Amino acid sequence: MDFTISEKMKTILGMIDEFVDKELIPLESEFLTKSARSLLPVFEEKRRMVKQMELWAPNHPKEYGGMALNLMEHALVSESLGRSPLGHYIFGCQAPDAGNIEILHQFGSDEQKEKYLRPLVDGKIRSCFSMTEVELPGSNPVMMDTTAVKDGDDYVINGQKWYTSSADGSEFAIVMAVTNPEAGPYLQASMIIVPIDTPGFNLVRNIAVMGHAGEDYFSHAEILYQNCRVPQSNLLGSEGHGFVIAQERLGPGRIHHCMRWIGICNRAFDLMVARARDRIIAPNRKLATKQIIQSWIGECAAAIQAARLMVLHAAWRIETVGKKDARKEISFIKFVVANVMQKVIDRALQVHGGLGMTDDTILAFYYRHERAARIYDGADEVHKISVAKRILKEYEGRQVR
């Protein structure tokens, strides 16, 4: 693997780092204390600045106004943006829109692309992805109760979803619903675009997650679909291909998520080291003089480096052998990086003592919000089992002495 960063990317990353430091990190105390909706005009202004710098939508297609960076390039961008919880949103590459953009680009009809994809990449609208159900295991999503039944030229959708992230204020949802109950388990569901002003699309509540319901982009909703009727032309891709399309979002999306988490690790680590160097714990004694703190610093630095290399390696595998053959590496990074991040945030918070528990630093926010990384996009256990099964298969018929 070649780790050289091109001159073009060095310039881009330098500009992004400077923007995050100067424009976003200073905004975080307001972000932590005010409602997200009240800050939308400020966020809009920052987004305008990003567009002026021609750094908008780094991973999205050029013909729709993005920069079309490749997977490795965007991985590095994602790491830089991860240093602030506002990074991806302000640069127009936030989940779940990023994944929705990918699948609309790949599977959308011309009409869907004009109506939904173009304004989405432009940041004029937002979207959400509605798959997980309240009563059934998200870890085994083929168990799905939501149905979309054909009636005339329409689909009529009924079901109860939750954790439809960022539904509040979105223009449309991409909903997974069973359209072909007689087919095999992975060919029963379809993805359907549902504008949220459709009668029967009921946003029940923004769920309180770790004590905070949030709003607008920074929220997770419960949605009740009650006889929600949309034209059949809102089907994304082919009928029954919902899981096939979902697989397509997986590889590159995982790299972006994991590099965002590495960015979070870097930020928490910086805060930890700075605090250890500054905090006086006895006359003429800084916290950093204590061996246990030095040990945490060493451990965290090595863990971040190892996790980062794993993600870059997985990205390289996707680019060189393709998503299918890189499945093991794609699963590895999900649980390894999520756990490294959790440990690094925890250590950084501990080093800050009581201050770490407050919202005077970003650490408590990360501690609350990023715990979910071990659950969404496949829980730790699911990925470990899937990796183990693959490995066990590789050993079939192999003589080991």
Does position 137 interact with ligand FAD (CB under 6 A)? The reply is: yes
Using the rule CB under 6 A, give the single segment among 81-89, 124-132, 268-276, 307-315 that binds ligand FAD: 124-132
Does position 85 interact with ligand FAD (CB under 6 A)? The reply is: no
Minimum distance of ligand FAD from residue 96's CB (angstroms):
5
By CB under 6 A, name the one of 325, 381, 390, 394 that touches ligand FAD: 381
Using only C-alpha atoms, the chain has a radius of gyration, in whole angstroms, of: 22
Does position 361 interact with ligand FAD (CB under 6 A)? The reply is: no
> CA dihedral in degrees (72, 92, 97, 125; nearest 10)?
-160
For the window 139-178, what string marks contact with ligand FAD as x by the rule CB under 6 A? x-----------------------xxx-------------
Phi, psi of 240 (to 5 degrees): 85, 0
117, 264 Cβ separation under 8 angstroms: no
The count of C-alpha atoms lying within 13 angstroms of the C-alpha of 58, restricted to the half-sphere facing its C-beta, is 29
Does position 213 interact with ligand FAD (CB under 6 A)? The reply is: no
Q: How far is CA 172 from CA 98, 120, 129, 141, 179, in A?
A: 14, 10, 9, 21, 19
Minimum distance of ligand FAD from residue 124's CB (angstroms):
20
Does position 58 interact with ligand FAD (CB under 6 A)? The reply is: no
Q: How far is CA 169 from CA 78, 91, 130, 140, in A?
A: 24, 18, 14, 28
Does position 224 interact with ligand FAD (CB under 6 A)? The reply is: no
Buried b (16+ CB within 10 A) or exposed e, 368-387: ebbbebbebbbbeebbbebb
By CB under 6 A, name the one of 138, 240, 251, 356 that touches ligand FAD: 138
Does position 220 interact with ligand FAD (CB under 6 A)? The reply is: yes
By CB under 6 A, name the one of 56, 129, 225, 366 that touches ligand FAD: 129
Q: How far is CA 91 from CA 43, 54, 102, 167, 326, in A?
A: 10, 10, 16, 19, 28
Query: Which one, of 174, 168, 338, 164, lies nearest residue 242 by Cα?
Result: 174
Does position 96 interact with ligand FAD (CB under 6 A)? The reply is: yes
> Whose Cβ is closer to ligand FAD: residue 163's or residue 296's?
163
Does position 365 interact with ligand FAD (CB under 6 A)? The reply is: no
Residue 216's Cα: distance from chain center in Å? Answer: 16
Using the rule CB under 6 A, give the single segment among 58-66, 152-160, 194-202, 380-388 that binds ligand FAD: 380-388
> Whose Cβ is closer to ligand FAD: residue 343's or residue 368's?
368
Residue 174's Cα: distance from chain center in Å? Answer: 16
Query: Which tokens is 147 given?
Result: 């149905």
> Whose Cβ is closer to ligand FAD: residue 138's or residue 356's?
138
> Whose Cβ is closer to ligand FAD: residue 365's or residue 376's?
376
Residue type, position 253, single letter: G
> Whose Cβ is closer to ligand FAD: residue 81's or residue 338's?
338
Footprint of ligand FAD (CB under 6 A): 96, 129-132, 137-139, 163-165, 209, 220, 372, 375-376, 379, 381-382, 385
